Amino acid sequence: MIRFGIVGFGLHGDRRLMPGFALSKQCKVTAIQRRDLQKARASAAKYKVRDAFDSVAALCASSEVDAVLVTSPDALHLPDTLTALAHGKPVLCEKPMAMNADEVRQMVTAARSANLLLGVAHVFRFENSIRWFRDQIAAGAIGRPVYARSEFCYSAQNHGRVWLTDPSLAAGGPISDVGVHCIDTLRFVLQDRVVRVTTRAVSDGRSGPVEAAAAITLEFARGTLGTVLVSTRAEYRTPLEIVGETGVLQAENGLTVDHPIELRLRHGDKVTATPVSNAGAYALQVDAFADALEGRAEFPVPGKEGLINQEILDAIFRSMNTGRTENVAQ
């Protein structure tokens, strides 16, 4: 049983992580860290977690913690990860992995030097829906992918993560918050790399210095064109669609974990529908990390995958600022 300490526990911990750990077969949470010790103790009591800390270093030093899950604001991912690694603890870090690619390189280098596992929490890679898309494309079910679309919208009105509009804490607005999930999903299902990006974004009075919505074009090495649409102003939706030369794969809410969804394979007028649930994705993610720590398998989303996504994000933000198509660093 791998004992996790969660750094930066907050809304995501309540809504997603703790329900995931409750379903896990190989992991449990033994420590929670929040900046406010009283809140940390309240969260620990709510979930019957052994220890509560207001110090990242103290949690990482605990003999009751085998691995650290970093869920703090983006700007703290680098220092929190380095602190955990310095205490000899492997790290599963939330996305986006850091503020920029240079920070991610520091994290990857530190983990390699310490000979410790560093993973990035791209949970959608553990969803049944996303594996179905990947398997169908790999099997040639729709021929060569021509066009790929992933969207992620949610309303940030009265959102609990108030730091998302603070550029000193957040790597960006919805581009880095949920757009990185869309990018990683398209990379994963297409098994292809992004070589160029073009970005258009808008902001408003509530988003402040970060974007409120964006449209991103991704050019893949094998010729597929991808689009990613993100917004913190629209109601929740996560459609996913891959158009191939001989067929189409579709899911109205292909990324959701909240309810069962229908996957559709379309050939002309013929549609084959497959119902699936992604409810176990968060448990599968931490159990896969445990498998890696105990030598049963490699973790499928290592830090180098987070670095690739961060290089794409850096190019997207360059394009947003320059108005030009930008190459992705290789």
Question: Phi and psi at residue 297, in whole multiples of 5°?
Answer: -165, 160
Residues 163 and 258 in one domain: yes
The Cα–Cα gap between 100 and 75 comes to: 9
Q: 250 and 273 share a domain?
A: yes
Please tell me whether residues 107 and 221 are part of one structural domain.
no
Please name the residue ranges forming H helices in the chain.
11-12, 18-23, 37-46, 56-61, 77-86, 101-114, 128-138, 174, 180-190, 281-293, 303-322
pLDDT at 208: 83
Cα of 132 vs its chain's centroid, Å: 18
What is the per-residue pLDDT for 86?
98
Whether residue 119 sits in one domain with residue 30: yes
Same structural domain, 106 and 43:
yes
Do 98 and 223 belong to one domain?
A: no
Structure tokens at 28: 């449990």
Residue 192 within a domain: yes
Residues 95 and 132 in one domain: no
Residue 253 lies in a domain: yes
Domain-embedded: residue 263: yes
Find the mean pLDDT for residues 99-120.
98
Residues 63 and 138 both lie in one domain: no
Residue 174 region by backbone torsions, left for phi larger than 0, else alpha for psi between -120 and 50, else beta: alpha
**CA 103 – CA 123 distance, rounded (Å):** 21
Is 61 contained in some domain? Answer: yes
Report residue 46 as tokens: 């709510």
**318 within domain boundaries:** yes
Whether 196 and 314 map to the same domain: the answer is yes
| Number of domains the chain is built from | 2
Q: What is the CATH number of the domain that holds 35?
A: 3.40.50.720
Kindly state whether residues 115 and 171 are assigned to the same domain.
no
Band the pLDDT of 160: cuts 50, 70, 90: low
Polymer length of the chain: 330
> Domain for residue 305, yes or no?
no
Cα–Cα distance measured from residue 148 to residue 177, given in angstroms and rounded to the nearest whole number: 20
Q: What is the CA radius of gyration of the chain?
A: 19
Strand partners, 327: 196
| Segments forming the whole domain that contains residue 58 | 2-123+283-300
pLDDT of residue 330: 76
**Do 73 and 129 have their domain in common?**
no
Domain contains 193? yes
In this prediction the pTM is: 0.96
pLDDT at site 324? 98
Band of residue 205 on the pLDDT scale cut at 50, 70, 90 = confident
Judge contact between 9 and 274, C-beta under 8 A. Answer: no
CA-CA distances (angstroms) from residue 106 to 27, 76, 77?
Answer: 28, 13, 11
One domain for residues 81 and 159 = no
Q: What is the mean pLDDT of residues 8-16?
A: 94
CATH code of the domain in which 246 resides: 3.30.360.10
Domain assignment present for residue 215? The answer is yes
User: Coil, helix or strand for 52?
Assistant: strand
